[in-house]
Amino acid sequence: MSGKPVLVVILSGKRKSGKDFVAELIEKRYRNGLAVIHISKPIKQKYAELHGAAFDELMKASEYKEQFRLDMVKWSEKEKLDRNDQAYFLKLAIELEKAQERKVWLVADARRPADIGYFDSPQFDSVEIIKVRIQATDETRKSRGWMFTKNIDDATTECGLDNFTDWTHVIDNNGTCDELVERLNVIFDKIDQALT
């Protein structure tokens, strides 16, 4: 890694909790001021190349993506095992976004302990790491189109951080957009400081 960030904001949350929406809010607010790292992007890109799927459709919250989700998860887990590197796709995502050129990194979709653990390495000792859990009730998630799916919602990709307790912030996302933005102000303040 040639450049180091000043701040890394890591977002985590279950399907339909609103983590993608939060990432979009942050990205729109800061435009090109930060690197937005989607760990799922290189997974979906490589999976699409190998399996003839439409990459652009896999990047959307869609029924199309849901058709491939289980197989894509199995494939990506095998890739990481074969390479003996649990952070393989995270590292690819960092390279893909040229994150080394930015002072602030937003990791939009941490799902496993290894996704967070990567930032515990000595190369990030002088970097401020903010770990944010976005949560919503099952009722709220259902209102957004979520339905429990066996082998997906009970898999590591959805449950891997359920017992993680070292969150810097836990953001409740059951209310309005205005309420959510109000809760995110503490994170906006940190990003503002890092970018000055």
* The predicted structure's pLDDT at residue 188: 98
Tell me the mean pLDDT in the region 60-77. Answer: 87
Q: What is the pLDDT of residues 25-51, one digit of tens each?
A: 999 999 889 999 999 999 999 999 999
Over 90: is that where the pLDDT of 3 sits? no
Start-end of H helices in the chain: 19-30, 40-51, 55-58, 63-83, 88-96, 113-117, 138-143, 156-159, 177-195
Share of the chain above pLDDT 70, in %: 99
Q: What is the pLDDT of residue 153?
A: 82
Domains assigned to the chain: 7-195 (3.40.50.300)
Give the residue, 180 or 155, on which the prediction is more confident. 180
How many Å from the N-terminal Cα to the C-terminal Cα in the chain? 22
